[in-house]
A = this chain, B = another copy of it.
Amino acid sequence: MSDLLTQLANLLGDKGFLQGDALRDHPACAFVIPRGLIRPASTEELSQAMKLCHSAGQSVVPQGGRTGLVSGQCAQTDEIIISLERMNNIQSIDTRSRTMRVEAGVPLQQVQECAEERDLMFPLDLGARGTATIGGNLSTNAGGNRVVRYGMARDMVLGLEAVLADGTVISSMKSVIKNNTGYDLKQLFIGSEGTLGIITRAVLRLRPKFRSQNTALVAVSSFEQVTELLGRADSALGGSMSSFEVMWNSFYSCITQHSDKHRLPLPVDYPYYVIIEAMGGDIAADDERFHAAMEDLFESGLVADAVLAKSTSEREAIWAIRDDMEAIYALYPLFAFDVSVPLPDMEAYVADIETQINAQWPDNRLIIFGHLGDGNIHVVVAVGSDAPEVKQAVENIVYGALRERHGVISAEHGIGQEKKRHLAISRSDAEIALMRTLKLAMDPTGILNPGKVIDIACA
């Protein structure tokens, strides 16, 4: 087997392959020292390296920025890590067809900034933007703050290139929006967390940069009204609504009690708080439309109270409440979940887990907030312990209650290793069997990110 390490070293050189002592200082090896670390400079190099790994039956773990939240990027001591960190170039940007060709190791923020310099926008946005890479974003089909308007990472990519387990390069780097020429292979690599191929390059779709941004924080008295507000606001804002974020009272009151950073834009005694934001191309007209829509909503009785941000600092103050994880983390130990529930079932879902958690841990904190415009909520549960058996009991409640409500155990973050045990809550036996069929067809010896998403019995 150490034949393989020699072959890789010969192929890739000192910069392209790290082993032994050279691994110790690399951040990829902070927790576990793997057999080696491949840092390809090109798709062709990666292809050659994968041919060697494939022949040797060597398992590999693809890594981007290592910001994943479900341990999909974590390697074992007998595995080789493949880091895309040297494939971090923006290859070209075309302002006419509004596309950008990038290598998979480019950090998201660099892509955003490059687009902005050209008066365009790459709409994907998430907290880890400075470190997370396009390859990681696509492999996890990342979501983030603007899904309600622009969709998930899957919706922002036109072309893709990936290297298969045996080193074959699948290059579909087309930059056209409409392409019905046989199976859409890129879909296989998006969201499969590095288990079907290693993404090396992509053609991203850019959008016009917005010029106007309008933000309101509104208080609502019932969940019924929250869902009605969502429909009405989306409709009235005519395609320009870019966020509809809901904070349950549990969240709003926790943030404002546990942190003195915030001025209180609205009193703490409402059941729900919603941030509504719209982005558009015409400052004057958009402002007017936003104000008119908010006025209508207020008059309709759906909104109990509201503030409209009148300046950037007021907008930032509103978002600072939503983004203040410090106050949440102060509740440590805690468990955080990222689930989707169909809107008509969401209120009952929250009531159900609340009842169950109260019954088992009377002294708990249950905090709910999230991207309600997408049916996605974050559930934070603090019961005073994070012992494994407590974790399992809490997971069984939070995930278990999803089953009959057709919710899903992962809205954004993926399955990785963390949620594998619960996959059957969201996927049928037949679906999991078909996932295995695909995995075996594309990676028959199971060397690509083994143990992530699903387990397989290999040939």
> How distant is the Cα of A196 from the Cα of B243 in the complex, in angstroms?
37
A437 within 8 A of B: yes
Q: When chains A and B are docked, how far (Å) is the Cα of A342 from the Cα of B100?
A: 12
CA separation between A180 and B418, bound complex, in Å?
13
Q: Which residues of B contact A427 (CB under 8 A)?
A: 172, 181-182
Q: Which residues of B contact A119 (CB under 8 A)?
A: 235
Structural contact, A97 and B240, CB atoms closer than 8 A: no
Segment of A145-153, A252-260, A298-306, A386-394 engaged in the interface with chain B? A145-153
**Cross-chain pairs A/B with CB under 8 angstroms, 20 sampled:** A94-B344, A140-B180, A151-B155, A168-B433, A176-B411, A177-B374, A179-B410, A180-B412, A180-B413, A181-B410, A181-B427, A182-B192, A209-B235, A210-B238, A235-B281, A238-B240, A238-B280, A282-B292, A437-B441, A438-B438
Judging by beta carbons under 8 Å apart, are B442 and A437 in contact?
yes
Give the docked Cα–Cα distance between A188 and B435 (Å).
Answer: 11
Q: How far is the CA of A235 from the CA of B409 in the complex (A)?
A: 37
Cβ–Cβ contact A239 & B178, under 8 A: no
Q: Determine how close the nearest CB of chain B comes to the CB of A123; give it in whole angstroms.
A: 11
**Known interface pairs A234-B208, A282-B292; A375-B180 also in contact (CB < 8 Å):** no
Name the B residues within 8 Å of A231 (CB-CB).
95-96, 98, 208
Minimum CB–CB distance for A290 against chain B, Å: 9
Q: Mark each residue of chain A from 193 to 207: 1 if its CB lies under 8 Å from any CB of chain B, else 0.
A: 000100000000000
CA of A363 to CA of B442 in the docked complex: distance in angstroms? 51
Q: Does A415 contact B (CB under 8 A)?
A: yes
A301 CB to nearest chain B CB (Å): 18
Q: Does A22 interact with chain B (Cβ within 8 Å)?
A: no
Distance, CA A152 to CA B341, complexed state (A): 25
Residue A103 at the chain B interface, CB threshold 8 Å? no
CA–CA, A288 and B342, complex, Å: 36
Closest 9 pairs (CB-CB, A-B)? A238-B280, A238-B281, A208-B235, A187-B187, A441-B441, A176-B340, A178-B411, A97-B343, A285-B289
User: In the complex the two chains form, is A185's CB within 8 Å of B435's CB?
Assistant: yes
Known contacts A239-B240, A415-B181, A426-B181; A292 and B281 CB within 8 A of each other: no
Interface residue count for A (Cβ, 8 Å)?
Answer: 103
Query: Which of A119, A182, A210, A415: most chain B CB closer than 10 A?
Result: A182
Interface of chain A residues 382 through 413 with chain B (CB within 8 A): 406-413
Residues of chain B contacted by A408 (CB below 8 angstroms): 174, 176, 178-181
Residues of B within 8 A of A407 (CB): 176
A285 partner residues in chain B, CB cutoff 8 A? 285, 288-289, 292
A171 within 8 A of B: yes
Collect the chain B residues with CB atoms within 8 Å of residue A179's CB. 340, 408, 410-411, 426
Q: Which residues of B contact A96 (CB under 8 A)?
A: 227-228, 231, 343-344
- Is A445 close to B, CB under 8 A? no
Considering the complex, give the chain B residue whose CB is closest to the CB of A288.
B285
Interface string of A136-147 (1 = CB under 8 A from B): 000011010001
Minimum C-beta distance from A276 to chain B (A): 14
A289 to B170, CA, bound (A): 44
A211–B235 Cα distance when bound, in Å, is 9
Chain B residue contacts of A128, Cβ below 8 A = none
Is A183 part of the binding interface, using a Cβ–Cβ cutoff of 8 Å?
Answer: yes
From B181, B191, B410, give the contact of A184 (CB < 8 A). B191
For A18, the chain B residues whose CB sits under 8 A away are: none
A237 close to B (CB within 8 Å) = yes
Residues of chain A from 429 to 458 with CB closer than 8 A to chain B in the complex:
430-435, 437-438, 440-442, 453-454
